[in-house]
Amino acid sequence: MNDREFLASRFEEHRGHLKAVAYRMLGSLSEAEDAVQEAWLRLSRSDPGDVENLGGWLTTVVGRVCLDMLRARTSRREEPLEARLPDPVVSPASGPDPEQAALLADSVGLALLVVLESLTPAERLAFVLHDMFAVPFEEIAPLVGRSPGTARQLASRARRRVRGAAPVPDPDLGRQRKIVEAFIAAAHRGDFAALVSLLDPDAVLRADAGALTGGGLAEIRGAADVAGQALTFRRYSPSTAHAALVNGLAGVVNTVDGKPSAVMSFTITDGRIVEIDILADPDRLARLDLVVTD
């Protein structure tokens, strides 16, 4: 094994961790792959002999790459409401494969990723690296061009936003599945009252259909309105529901004539559905690996 092959093998040991960092930073599976690849290119152009802690070095490199990507993404936006649903990680109902499990460590549901999208790039970096991956503020500070104290403040501000907006899912997956199954069954029956009974009074439904609705993220609030929308979806888009895990939580992949039409993620707290996130953008669905749901 030559030096480059040895370096590549060491990099591969960290790939899963790096992709997990990038996914939390970017909310995009394809962009996360791009960030990890850029980290490899930077490593291959550097002198690894100068790197004492390769894992830590690569984590900060990926963080810097993602920060640049977030800032570029922000600068391209002409309208501040150009939001979209983060990419879901879809696994069989029986459980994720090892790569997906590594990507989803610490229960990174879509509800949390949606909240992270509302943070500034610097806040997101500080929160993700420190709170999720225990990177010291002394190492985060140079990435955002601030002092360690200011980096700490960025993470603290982000933490308050997350705690106030991201619901904590029920840890009992079996209970989650029963509630999701009951919701899907009620929608099929057209049972409005049953749907409302399964929803938290302040339930939120977010749907991203891409170009089908002109782009952007549609949001509906309140149990009655969410139940009504669920019945509308069922009435005008008849589909077959397949049980799946979506970012580690009980979810559904809908198909029409065998082709995926939507991925639905449910966040359940205290026995009620508090959030439903639906990705129905055909272009993005086509890029996801959904074969695992059969």
Residues 186 and 151 in one domain: no
pTM of the model: 0.88
Domain carrying residue 244 = 173-286
Range scoring the smallest mean pLDDT among 22-26, 209-213, 222-226, 228-232? 209-213
In this predicted model, what pLDDT tens digit does every residue of 134-190 receive, in sequence order? Answer: 999 999 999 999 999 999 999 999 999 988 787 888 889 999 999 999 999 999 999
Q: Residue 261: helix, strand or coil by DSSP?
A: strand
Residue in 253, 199, 269, 267 with CA at minimum distance from that of residue 228: 199
Please indicate, yes or no, if residue 99 is contained in any of the structural domains: no
pLDDT at site 143: 95
pLDDT at site 267: 94
Confidence of residue 81 (pLDDT cuts 50, 70, 90): very low
The answer on pLDDT for 78 being more than 50 is: no
Please indicate, yes or no, if residue 97 is contained in any of the structural domains: no
Mean pLDDT rounded to a whole number for the chain: 88
Range scoring the smallest mean pLDDT among 5-19, 86-100, 111-125, 258-272? 86-100
Residues 134 and 10 in one domain: yes
Please indicate, yes or no, if residue 112 is contained in any of the structural domains: no
Residues 79 and 157 in one domain: yes
Please indicate, yes or no, if residue 237 is contained in any of the structural domains: yes
Q: What is the DSSP secondary structure assignment for residue 215, as one 8-state letter?
A: S
The answer on pLDDT for 256 being more than 80 is: yes
Given 111, 142, 164, the domain boundary residue is: 164
Domain count, the chain: 2
Separation of alpha carbons 94 and 80, rounded Å: 39
How many DSSP H helices and E strands does the chain contain? 12, 7
In this predicted model, what pLDDT tens digit does every residue of 96-127 receive, in sequence order? Answer: 777 787 777 666 788 889 889 989 999 999 99
Residues 36 and 147 in one domain: yes
Given 128, 146, 164, the domain boundary residue is: 164
Residue pair 7/48 in contact by the 8 Å Cβ criterion:
yes
CATH of the domain at 61: 1.20.140.160
Residue in 120, 39, 34, 37 with CA at minimum distance from that of residue 77: 120
pLDDT at site 291: 62
Residues 78 and 211 in one domain: no
Residues 49 and 138 in one domain: yes
Task: Give the angle 207-83-73 at the CA atoms, nearest 5°.
Answer: 145
CATH of the domain at 272: 3.10.450.50
